[in-house]
Amino acid sequence: MADRVSGRSRAFAPLKWTSFFHSCVYSSLLICAFALGKPQPETLVLGWTHGILWIGMSCACIAAARLRIVSLRLAVAVAVLGGIGPFFGSWEFVREGRRRARGAGPRDADPGPRDADPGRRIAESIVKQCEDRSCGQAGEGA
Q: Provide the domain count of the chain.
A: 2
Confidence (pLDDT) at 1: 47
Look up residue 136 and give its amino acid.
Answer: G
Q: Are residues 17 and 79 in the same domain?
A: yes
Q: Are residues 73 and 126 in the same domain?
A: no
Average pLDDT of the residues in 131-141: 58
Average pLDDT of the residues in 119-127: 68
Which own/partner pairs from 10-14 qualify as long-range (CB within 8 Å, at least 24 positions apart)? 11/64, 11/67, 11/69, 12/64, 12/69, 12/70, 12/96, 12/97, 12/100
Q: Are residues 74 and 142 in the same domain?
A: no
pLDDT over 70 at 39, yes or no: yes
Q: Are residues 87 and 24 in the same domain?
A: yes
Q: Are residues 73 and 87 in the same domain?
A: yes
pLDDT over 50 at 119, yes or no: yes
Q: Are residues 118 and 54 in the same domain?
A: no
Name the residue range of residue 121's domain.
114-142
Q: Are residues 28 and 97 in the same domain?
A: yes
Q: Are residues 69 and 90 in the same domain?
A: yes
The sign one gets for the Cα dihedral 132, 133, 134, 140 is positive
Q: Are residues 14 and 60 in the same domain?
A: yes
Q: Are residues 69 and 25 in the same domain?
A: yes
Q: Are residues 92 and 118 in the same domain?
A: no
Q: Which tens digit of pLDDT belongs to each residue from 60-98?
A: 999 999 998 999 999 999 999 888 888 998 999 999 989
Q: Are residues 51 and 120 in the same domain?
A: no
